[in-house]
Amino acid sequence: MVYSIKYELPSHKLFPPKHRKVIEGEKELARVMSDPRERLAVSYHEAAHALNFRKFGIETRYGGPSVLHDCCTDLYSVSYGSAMVRDTDYLKLAETSERLARVLVAGRVAESVLLGSSVSLENNDFADFLQFARGKGTAELIGIWKRVEEEYSRELSADLNQQREIVHEAARFEEQICGVDRSIREVSNRPAEIAAYRTATFVL
């Protein structure tokens, strides 16, 4: 298996000796990506997000594992994978709370339906929904989230074609992100062409 770790942090954090939190992040990514069930959960999760984005006419691209640093809080985190969309498309989608909820619940629902239960990888889907959904109070947004999650869970559980679509898309995600070799390649930290929407993260 081969995968690239992207580093979204000041470059000096990578200078020898490498920061302890960066090393911890690399170890966490190696643990998840080497575990077939957890890797499959990430693949299903991101594939379901991507397919639901596309249903609303939003183009996506996959991003792989990354180590991140928030300068404001000085917190390090890792992202196991991402469905990448343009900021403008994401903000436009967020104008309709139900549509945003549908895209964001899709990852965890896909894990639950296809794997029987969600693998315990932390994710920011619900927090992002509360942050970006517009025009409603928190209590109403929580209600929308729960309703959409229940509706999509019933829909996906009953729709074998949609399940197959996620499985096939997940295979594309894994092929793009993991490849076939068993080494780890590191890539330079270049500005992304489109914004990465991370749905599975872990704070170090």
Assigned token pair, 4: 């690239």
pLDDT at 197: 52
Q: So what's the pLDDT on residue 203? A: 72
Mean pLDDT, range 49-54, rounded to an integer: 98
pLDDT of residue 122: 62
Give residue 18's pLDDT. 87
Q: What confidence category does residue 99 fall into, taking pLDDT thresholds of 50, 70 and 90?
A: very high
Task: Give 178's pLDDT tier (boundaries 50, 70, 90).
Answer: confident
How confident is the model at residue 2, as a pLDDT? 64
**168: which DSSP letter?**
H
DSSP state of 12: G
The share of the chain scoring above pLDDT 70, in percent, equals: 84
Structure confidence at residue 204 (pLDDT): 72
Q: Does the structure show a pLDDT above 60 at 168?
A: yes
Q: What's the chain's average pLDDT?
A: 86
Q: Does position 47 have pLDDT exceeding 80, yes or no?
A: yes
* CA-based nearest residue to 92, from 136, 133, 64: 133
Q: What is the mean pLDDT of residues 139-144?
A: 96
- Whether the per-residue pLDDT at 131 is higher than 80: the answer is yes
CA 146/CA 158 separation, integer angstroms: 19
What is the identity of the amino acid at 50? A
In this structure, of 72-86, 143-157, 181-195, the range with the lowest mean pLDDT score is: 181-195
Give dist(CA 199, CA 51) in Å, integer: 14
